[in-house]
Structure 1
Amino acid sequence: MLLSGPLAPTAFDAIIFDLGGVILPLSYGRTIDGLSALLGRDAREIYQETSQESLFDRFERGEIGQEVFRDSLRALARGSRPPTDEELNQAWNAILEEIPEENVALLRGLSRAKRTFLLSNTNEIHLAKFEADYEARHGGLHGPFWTLFEKDYYSHRIGLRKPDRAAFLHIIDGHGLRPERTLFIDDNHHNVDAALALGMSAILHPRNEKIGPYFEGWLDSSELAF
């Protein structure tokens, strides 16, 4: 069932969150601009919000490592000077913004009330940058990011990528979840459609908008405290 908030807390036992665009704001334009400058071509020819070359899918499934990924990007360059590893990493990571503190508080509270999971299409470069930034801003007080969930899953680590059915079943079967009692929140309609096909309820989240309104009335002020 496709839903919008606010939601009834008694309707769900488990929640599966997407990361980028839901919990963590994204700025695709910054990475597209950065890669375009480095590669001497319009990066939208190979990478966009709604579509991307198979190179990026393979990187997100962990089929290639970051060295091969960067070398493959350099092979696509049309400029006179090949970009360095550091330059490519910086442009690639420019998409990542800071996770809002209100999202950390909400996820911490929800983790005490429900079974919460993360299922993210990502890659080793982005995850290393995100985890370092999170640790610097929140880790000293709140601990590692993974503690906000019963379990966090990343496509490059499990070798599965949304909207593949197997990516969802990896969590559902692995944790004994009932699809009809599970809520999935993602900003990509292909991923939401896949979750709905498996019998889950789902929210197609407007990218980078607040997630708190979905859970109005679920937690009291003490549960939202850090």
Structure 2
Amino acid sequence: MSTRISAVLFDFGGVLTTSVYEAFEAFGAALGVDPRLPLRLLAKDEQSGALLVAHEEGRLGQREFEDGFAERLRAHGADIQGAGLLSRMQQELRPDQAMLDLVAEVRGAGRPVGLLSNSLGDDCYAGFDLESMFDAVVISGDIGVRKPSRRAYAVACERLGTRPEETVMVDDLEHNIVAARRAGLAGIVHREAATTAEELRNLLRV
């Protein structure tokens, strides 16, 4: 008999907000370069990727990340300085009210809900009262590990008070869901609120 899913971990950027991909592409377009340049560097450029990992794990401060990533952008034709870079990158992100309502719905049904997020900048959660929204809040920069590390999922489940096999992770990045499943969790790749809500309600039987 399969274990019943009874708890949910939500990602932040791209799940509780509008698309991170679209925001980063808008940033690239505003720089007057290939709109996909910022995403491509973070995903495929070794130096940019190392900066991102170090920042998300809390080993590199916001300004150091901004200066380093601005240098990589300049090396590929962008005219930009480090100060304020992360604010510009995330300028187009907006809360997704349908997903915020879903978090409240699941919690209102008596299911434990937690946040497991890779942090990006000092102010990326501004405007969200995370402590009142969730039963547990786990931020990569605070615990020193980031998704898709198995340890990140283990810490989140521990703080939420659930076992991995009782928990589902909702994330917009497929590789984070692959990693969650390897760590014993169920997973939903988020694309839009209506589909995610239907999948989650079916899993939780609410």
2:66 is the counterpart of 1:70? yes
Determine the C-alpha separation between the residues in 1 that align with 2:20 and 2:68. 23
Q: Which amino acid aligns with 2:90?
A: N
2:84 is the counterpart of 1:99? no
Determine the C-alpha separation between the residues in 2 that align with 1:80 and 1:164. 32
Change (3 A) 1:40 1:194: closer
Q: Which amino acid aligns with 2:27?
A: G
Which one of 26, 49, 52 corresponds to residue 53 of structure 1? 49
% identical aligned pairs: 25
* Structure 2 portions without partners, runs of 5+: none
1:80: Cα distance to partner? 9.2
Q: Which amino acid aligns with 1:97?
A: R
Q: TM-score normalized by structure 1?
A: 0.71
Q: TM-score normalized by structure 2?
A: 0.77
The CA RMSD over aligned residues, in Å, is: 3.1
1:43 alignment partner in structure 2? 38
The answer to whether the Cα contact below 8 Å between 2:114 and 2:160 also exists between their aligned partners in 1 is no
2:12 alignment partner in structure 1? 19
2:185 alignment partner in structure 1? 200
Q: How many residue pairs are counted as aligned between the two chains?
A: 194
* Structure 1 portions without partners, runs of 5+: 1-9, 135-143, 220-226
1:129: Cα distance to partner? 4.0
CA distances 1:77-97 after superposition (whole Å, capped 9, x unpaired): 2469652513x2332213522
Determine the C-alpha separation between the residues in 1 that align with 2:16 and 2:79. 37
Which one of 112, 117, 127 corresponds to residue 120 of structure 1? 117
Determine the C-alpha separation between the residues in 2 that align with 1:191 and 1:80. 30
The answer to whether the Cα contact below 8 Å between 2:32 and 2:78 also exists between their aligned partners in 1 is no
The answer to whether the Cα contact below 8 Å between 2:9 and 2:115 also exists between their aligned partners in 1 is yes
Q: Which amino acid aligns with 1:188?
A: L
Runs of 4+ in 1 over 6 A off after TM superposition: none
- Three-state SS of the structure 2 residue aligned to 1:103 is helix
- Three-state SS of the structure 1 residue aligned to 2:126 is helix
Determine the C-alpha separation between the residues in 1 that align with 2:28 and 2:64. 16
1:3 alignment partner in structure 2? none
CA distances 1:4-47 after superposition (whole Å, capped 9, x unpaired): xxxxxx93221111122222222424424425655967434412
CA distances 1:117-170 after superposition (whole Å, capped 9, x unpaired): 111112234xx14423x4xxxxxxxxx233111011111121111110110111
